[in-house]
Amino acid sequence: MWLNSSEDAGKSDCETDFIQVCNNVTSRFQTLSSQMISIEEELKLSQDNLMLANVIRKIQDEEREHLRLVIALQVERKRLDLLRLTADKATKSHNEHGEQHRCTCSAKTEEQIEDLQDLICIQEDKVKWMKQQTLNSESKINELLDEVRYWEVDKEMI
């Protein structure tokens, strides 16, 4: 404040009014300044909340993708198991036929069995790749969760 009321005794009315106006302006400025600081803090919190919401949305997207990968991986594993089972049955049937009839007429069957073996190798590679994609997806989710945990700790400190 500019002057105390005890100092006002010897001043003219004009000076007193001027000092009072100055004191009011100073007081109002301090109030507005504190309100601005409060608004800036709220705005920062709003921005932080928005950023956190975006991270959470990313986590949800990654979790959906991860779930899709896990289901696809299960399907591909089942497909691999069926290919192996088919190859085993074809090989067994081929061998039994060869032993029973003592013939070599089933070169086409051997070719089909080799094709099945090739498909099995391709399917095994696909399953390995999908496992890696699943691990990558889990890693990405964990990174995003760590980011959320960081935000939560940071907010608690405020």
pLDDT (0 to 100) of residue 2? 46
Q: At 105, phi and psi to the nearest 5?
A: -75, -5
Low-confidence ranges of the chain (pLDDT < 50): 1-3
pLDDT (0 to 100) of residue 129? 93
Contact (CB, 8 A) for 87 and 120: yes
pLDDT in tens, 3-23: 455 555 556 788 888 888 888
Alpha-helical segments (H) within the chain: 13-101, 107-157
The token pair that represents 64 in the structure block: 């959906």
pLDDT (0 to 100) of residue 155? 67
